[in-house]
Amino acid sequence: MGQLERADELAVLVYWYLGDHWFGRRMPTDVEEVAALRTAAFNLSREVHAGSEPLALKARDIATAVLELYSPLCGADSYAKLKQASRAYEQARLQR
């Protein structure tokens, strides 16, 4: 699986995660969902580097936001950062 496929996979996981928030659940209750989200974010953040394709760099922003959200560094704006990164990726993907 290439970088862009993994980027799309992460974007889909985040899309469903944000949907759970929309329906009033603050975090996915399924431990496996959370584990899949964190694993995808971690793997993508390790793989994408400065010379990567612009779309992959936008996906790395999603990964960074996910990892921040589930870390001790989580702040009041962490969820907003995730939404913003997700929207930016979606817009870049649609323009591709």
Q: What's this model's pTM, rounded to 2 decimal places?
A: 0.85
**What percent of the chain lies above the pLDDT cut of 90?**
55
pLDDT tens readout for residues 37-75: 899 999 999 999 888 899 999 999 999 999 999 899 999
Task: Write the DSSP string, 12-44.
Answer: HHHHHHHHHHHTT-SS-S-HHHHHHHHHHHHHH
Count of residues making up the chain: 96
Given this model, what pLDDT does residue 21 score? Answer: 56
How far is the CA of 29 from the CAs of 26, 48, 63, 77, 79, in angstroms? 9, 29, 20, 21, 17
Could you give the angle at which helices 31-47 and 3-22 cross, rounded to 10 degrees?
140
Query: At 33, is the pLDDT very low, low, confident or very high (cuts 50, 70, 90)?
Result: confident
pLDDT at 4: 87
